Amino acid sequence: MQIVEKSGEGLSRVYGVTVPAQDLTEKLEARIAEITPTLNIKGFRPGKVPPAHVRRLYGKALMSEVVEQTLTETTQKVLTDNNLRPAGDPDLKPEGDINEVIEGKADLAYEIAVDVMPEFDPVDPASLKLERPIYEPTDAEVTEAVDELASQNKTYEPRTGKSVKAKDGDMVVIDFVGKLDGVAFDGGTATDAELVLGSGQFIPGFEEQLVGATPDSDVEVKVTFPAEYQAANLAGKDAVFEVKVKEVKAPAEGAADDAFAERLGVENLEKLRELIKTNLEQQYAGASRFKLKRALLDQLDTKHDFPLPPKMVEAEFASIWSQVQQDKEAGNLPDDDAGKTDEQLQGEYRKIAERRVRLGLVLAEIGRANNVQVTEQELAEAMRREAMRYGPQAQQVFDLFRQNPNAQAQLRAPIFEDKVVDLIVEKAAVTDKKVSKDDLMKDDDLPEGYSDASAEEAKPKKKAAPKKKAAAKDEAASEE
């Protein structure tokens, strides 16, 4: 076998490999000799099949196996002999006619193109200085959260008086039958249905026609199903609902008291306040950790400057750019991106891709230097948590994870990353700094130099801007 380095610019290496046809033939003969005793071919006693006959029957298939195995072995030899740490799977490019190789008429010649890991000394975690923003929930916040919870868990009591009429916000208990052209349709009938007027539970126009209804009254509700209604047989159709209003209930003032706490399954109001305070503390602790981690990543980014494996950057950029294109087609680009050309956007998002790759390599190197490992128990717990999200299919999803190394790697990477971050924070000089709730919870802008404008602040119930999502995700390190 002959190995020649064809190029070695930066972190990219290209090697030419040639395996003589004679070597492949010898491997083929050895493979034939290995399987011949196991063959059961008509006309021959077991173990007595002539090698020439086996070659005629299975020669090409066996030579294909030999070539495949040779590619694997020689590629590994190139990496081992040259002390290369590949930054990804090598690309193999055959030279010549592979069919002639399989027929034993030509040498196996191919190129190996591989990006190698950069050599660099990561920063000493003990040299880092970080500020951890902290905020503790106040009694007023806890009270506000309890009151909000009470308002979301309203109770309804029958309206009383001489003239009882349903108002917007009231609950009506109704029976109804829906008809198309006088004929009842499937799914259009219910008994003792509870409907809060103005809640938007029913199709447009239904609830409004019950405002003013009285108990024990009959109301004919005429509506048109939306054109995009999920039931195709009803979409866009005019329907009439014969409604019997059985009861009208008014919302009762949601008092935050022991009785309310008991309805939620909590011992008393004091215990409920403790639970809510704990939840708020966990929420703020999570935000604090995120801010600290972001500050740490920013420092790691600025303190390291080394060449990046081109293919890793391209793969990361392709992932980001795919999401940008989807958001662009859906009209979800932030205002500061909407007016830019693709060339301008690509330049900005490529910087983010480079940042993510750089941080991933730095975290991986620090983790390796400190022997950070993800245990089988930690991985199994992550698989279990992820599988539980799929409800009845949980066991099936868990089994798929156990059988799929790539899926396991996707779960292992964030665990590894968090353990490395925790290790760095433990060794770094961290100072706690009290901040306001607004400062703790607000979104950070992108690091300086990654965009001409700061990322748009995320708004409730709105999809995050792609640049913000990319920046938030730049803590994605890959475990080696």
Please report the pLDDT score of residue 461 as a whole number: 32
Please report the pLDDT score of residue 49 as a whole number: 83
219-247 mean pLDDT: 94
pLDDT digits (tens, 9 = 90+) for 381-405: 999 999 999 999 999 999 999 999 9
Q: Which residues pair with 195 in a beta bridge?
A: 172
3-state helix, strand, coil split of the chain in percent (to 5) is 50, 20, 35
The mean pLDDT value of the chain amounts to: 89
Residue 319 has pLDDT above 80, yes or no: yes
Please report the pLDDT score of residue 66 as a whole number: 95
Residue 465 pLDDT class (50, 70, 90 cuts)? very low
Please report the pLDDT score of residue 333 as a whole number: 85
Please report the pLDDT score of residue 429 as a whole number: 97
Please report the pLDDT score of residue 286 as a whole number: 95
Please report the pLDDT score of residue 462 as a whole number: 35
Euclidean distance between CA atoms 417 and 300, whole angstroms: 14
41-60 mean pLDDT: 84
Cβ proximity of 168 and 198 under 8 Å: yes
What is the CATH architecture assignment of 2-115?
2-Layer Sandwich (3.30)
254-281 mean pLDDT: 91
70-95 mean pLDDT: 94
What number of other Cβ atoms are within 10 A of residue 92's Cβ?
15
Residue 113 has pLDDT above 70, yes or no: yes
HEC string for 259-299: HHHHHCCCCCHHHHHHHHHHHHHHHHHHHHHHHHHHHHHHH
Residue 336 has pLDDT above 50, yes or no: yes
DSSP type of residue 458: P
Please report the pLDDT score of residue 256 as a whole number: 86
Query: Is 155-252 a domain of CATH 3.30.70.260?
Result: no
Please report the pLDDT score of residue 450 as a whole number: 53
Please report the pLDDT score of residue 163 as a whole number: 84
278-287 mean pLDDT: 96
Residue 453 has pLDDT above 60, yes or no: no
35-61 mean pLDDT: 85
Residue 447 pLDDT class (50, 70, 90 cuts)? low
Residue 467 pLDDT class (50, 70, 90 cuts)? low
Euclidean distance between CA atoms 395 and 404, whole angstroms: 14
Cβ proximity of 109 and 18 under 8 Å: yes
Backbone CA torsion sign across 385, 391, 393, 395 = positive
Residue 317 has pLDDT above 90, yes or no: yes
Euclidean distance between CA atoms 478 and 315, whole angstroms: 13
234-262 mean pLDDT: 90
Share of the chain above pLDDT 70, in %: 92
pLDDT digits (tens, 9 = 90+) for 170-187: 999 999 999 999 999 998
Please report the pLDDT score of residue 259 as a whole number: 86
Chosen CATH of 270-475 out of 3.30.70.260, 1.10.3120.10, 1.10.8.60, 3.40.50.1460: 1.10.3120.10
Structure tokens at 313: 């950057």
Burial 189-227 (b: 16+ CB within 10 A, else e): eeeeeebbbeeeebbeebbebbeebebeeebebebebee
Per mean pLDDT, which of 41-50, 102-111, 143-152, 255-264 is the most reliable?
Answer: 102-111
Euclidean distance between CA atoms 57 and 53, whole angstroms: 6
How far does CA 463 lie from the centroid of its chain? 15
Please report the pLDDT score of residue 464 as a whole number: 43
341-367 mean pLDDT: 94
Domain boundaries, the chain: 2-115, 155-252, 270-475
DSSP type of residue 133: E
pLDDT digits (tens, 9 = 90+) for 137-157: 999 999 999 988 888 888 888
